[in-house]
Amino acid sequence: MKPEDPSPAEGTLDRRAFLRVALPVPLALLTGSGQGQPGSGQQAATTPTPAPPAKAEPAIPPTYKATEHDYGMGIDPSRCIGCGRCAEACKVENDVPREPFYFRTWVERYVVQTNGQTVVSSPNGGIGGFPAVSETGILRTFFVPKLCNQCANPPCVQVCPVGATFKTQDGVVLVDQDYCIGCRYCIQACPYGARYIDPVTHTAEKCTFCYHRLVKGLVPACVEVCPTQARIFGEVKLRNSPLSRFMRLHEIQVLKPHLNTEPKVYYANLDGEVR
Amino acid sequence: MRQQVTRLSIVFGLMVAALVAARQLLVPKTFGKLGHYRAAAVEEIAARKVRYAGHEACTTCHEDIAKVHADHRHRGVSCEVCHGPAAAHADSPTEVRPSAPRQRGACPLCHGYDPSRPTGFPQIDPVAHNPLKPCVSCHNPHQPEPPRTPEECSACHGEIARTKAVSHHALLTCTRCHETQKQHRIAPQSSRPSKPVDRAFCGGCHARDASSPKEIPRVDMASHGERYVCWQCHYPHYPELK
């Protein structure tokens, strides 16, 4: 018995000694940096946040109140001339890769033929214009600009497993590039084909309604450069906004209304062939 | 019994503490502040660089052009549609100059004929419309003129005009023989120009006793094909002389 006695005594002493050293660390983390070991507590608080740049120069002006806005876009296909300047401006403004399969906005040409077929084309998203089309056998033909519909009930946000894509207080659906794991669920979920994986960052990207312009009081780049005012931007709920006026004066449709995504891109007098 | 409870509670407490610590370390500080996302991401996206300054920024310096521009048909076309992104120019006006498209390809991007474009939008055929001439040599893009109704008959009746130009009737104006109302230029089908109806009309110049210049060939109206009207044998836009 005698030789066995010291060993458990040593064991308990060791465990107690270990706990005496180890326990304060999580305790300190739990209660903040007030007690125990202040160094570890401070580390935990400072490492994950990029607070200093935000303090140095506020990206969002203090006068901007996100809760006061609810943005939407109106599109009048009967005014679109298919010049593709919106798609070009979007690529310049948002550093979208120039390859012809990364678009945040693009223009589609619908050609409804007399034989009942509908041909939809969007060569390079409409950038640089469209090739000539034969006029025989055409019932009607028109252009339709497309972009992320900034749904009020966005399927892409529902499926994101990490909370990297989200709806802001002003109703814009954004992607957190630092948080996105590039799983592509949102690309599958989007019924409008508005998302892509950025080839450089390997994260999902999409139209932000040019959020960086909105907070400075500018309109999105595509709206700025549209020469025929086929795109109208403004507040959905404010009665005196250009968008509300546009919605009063036109018959408004949204794309794929049966999916209950509640898009906030409103199309005026949309042709039944447009999907 | 009591010893087990205390040991278990210590282990359990440790696990909770580890979980809390891991959460504190791994979850970003602003996550959940506004919703199930990192609130700081909104600021990061808002901090992205603006490339298109917006037409209001242009107006602050280029007041004179903006004023002219606002009174003409391109008033809805903002500056950066043609001149490209100009935020860099607005930040340092002398160092960065925006482009001014003067080559012919720039305008047909909007104004080239395309059946998909809305009816009534001014369009031209870039191949046939004054080939090789830069658009800006006739049209001022800051104050473009609305399309005028054709000045000359040849704008629409080109084939006849070209035939007549090499004929003996080259110096006659179309209206000498065809009375044309102004309405014909605006709505060609609703107001047709007149055509000569009888032999006497040609006789006005070509009869023996007509008071016209002497070089004009004369015929005896009584004996020369008296049973026919003149244009059954002579095509007036290209009259042959024999």
Among B113, B143, B173, the domain boundary falls at B143
pLDDT at A29 over 60: no
pLDDT at A42 over 60: no
| CA quadruple B186, B188, B192, B193: dihedral sign | positive
What pLDDT is stored for residue A22 in this prediction?
Answer: 65
Task: Identify the band that residue A21 occupies on the pLDDT scale cut at 50, 70 and 90.
Answer: low
What pLDDT is stored for residue A53 in this prediction?
Answer: 46
Among candidates B30, B116, B118 on the partner chain, residue whose Cβ is nearest the Cβ of A109: B116
List the structure tokens of B57.
């920024």
Find chain A residues with C-beta within 8 A of B45's C-beta: 174, 208, 211-212
Q: Do the Cβ atoms of A89 and B112 come within 8 Å?
A: no
ipTM: 0.76
Task: Identify the band that residue B227 occupies on the pLDDT scale cut at 50, 70 and 90.
Answer: confident
Write the CA distances from B186 to A157, B151, B156, B190, integer angstroms: 56, 11, 12, 9
**Three-class SS state of A89:** helix
Find chain B residues with C-beta within 8 A of A29's C-beta: 17, 20-21, 24
- Cβ count near B232 (within 10 Å): 9
List the structure tokens of A1.
């018995």
Q: Do the Cβ atoms of A176 and B38 come within 8 Å?
A: yes
Whether residue B218 is contained in a domain is answered as yes
Residues 236-275 of A with CB under 8 A from B: none
Q: Do the Cβ atoms of A60 and B46 come within 8 Å?
A: yes
Stretch B22-33: mean pLDDT, rounded? Answer: 92
Among candidates B20, B42, B112 on the partner chain, residue whose Cβ is nearest the Cβ of A26: B20
Stretch A68-75: mean pLDDT, rounded? Answer: 96
Q: Do the Cβ atoms of A78 and B116 come within 8 Å?
A: no
pLDDT digits (tens, 9 = 90+) for A115-153: 999 999 999 999 999 999 988 999 999 999 999 999 999
pLDDT digits (tens, 9 = 90+) for A192-231: 999 999 999 999 999 999 999 999 999 999 999 999 999 9
Whether residue B48 is contained in a domain is answered as no
Question: How many domains, in total, are found in chain B?
Answer: 2
Task: Identify the band that residue A59 occupies on the pLDDT scale cut at 50, 70 and 90.
Answer: confident
Backbone angles phi, psi at A103, to 5 degrees: -135, 140
Pick the residue of A80, A138, A166 with the most B CBs within 10 A to test the interface with B by mutation: A166
Whether residue B227 is contained in a domain is answered as yes
What pLDDT is stored for residue A106 in this prediction?
Answer: 97
Whether residue B193 is contained in a domain is answered as yes
Among candidates A81, A109, A163 on the partner chain, residue whose Cβ is nearest the Cβ of B36: A163
Whether residue B171 is contained in a domain is answered as yes
Q: Does A224 touch chain B (CB under 8 A)?
A: yes
Among candidates A83, A163, A164 on the partner chain, residue whose Cβ is nearest the Cβ of B109: A83
pLDDT at A38 over 80: no
Alpha carbon distance A94, A222 (integer Å): 11
Q: Do the Cβ atoms of B50 and A213 come within 8 Å?
A: yes
What pLDDT is stored for residue B162 in this prediction?
Answer: 86
Higher pLDDT, B153 or A9: B153
Q: Do the Cβ atoms of B14 and A26 come within 8 Å?
A: yes
pLDDT at A4 over 50: no
pLDDT at B61 over 60: yes
Whether residue B174 is contained in a domain is answered as yes
pLDDT at A2 over 90: no
Rg (CA), chain B: 39
pLDDT at A3 over 70: no
Find chain A residues with C-beta within 8 A of B74's C-beta: 227
Find chain A residues with C-beta within 8 A of B14's C-beta: 23, 26
What pLDDT is stored for residue B97 in this prediction?
Answer: 92
Residue with tokens 């005014």: A79
List the structure tokens of B192.
């047709």
Q: Which residue of A has its CA nearest to B125?
A: A132
What pLDDT is stored for residue A44 in this prediction?
Answer: 40
pLDDT at B131 over 60: yes
Residue span of the structural domain in which B207 resides: 165-232
Q: Which CATH number fits domain A58-275: 3.40.50.2000, 3.40.50.2300, 3.40.50.720, 3.30.70.20?
A: 3.30.70.20
pLDDT digits (tens, 9 = 90+) for A240-274: 999 999 999 999 999 999 999 999 999 999 999 99
What pLDDT is stored for residue B155 in this prediction?
Answer: 74
Stretch B26-55: mean pLDDT, rounded? Answer: 93
pLDDT at A189 over 90: yes
pLDDT at B7 over 80: yes
Task: Identify the band that residue A17 occupies on the pLDDT scale cut at 50, 70 and 90.
Answer: low
Find chain B residues with C-beta within 8 A of A26's C-beta: 14, 17-18, 20-21
* Paired sense of beta strands A204-205 and A231-235, if any: unpaired
Q: Residue ranges per domain, chain A?
A: 6-48, 58-275
List the structure tokens of A245.
């006026």
What pLDDT is stored for residue A28 in this prediction?
Answer: 54
pLDDT digits (tens, 9 = 90+) for A143-188: 999 999 999 999 999 999 999 999 999 999 999 999 999 999 999 9
> Which of A207-216, B161-170, B172-181, B187-196 is modeled with the greatest confidence?
A207-216
Alpha carbon distance B84, B98 (integer Å): 7
Q: How far is A129 from chain B (nearest CA, A)?
A: 6
Higher pLDDT, B91 or B132: B91
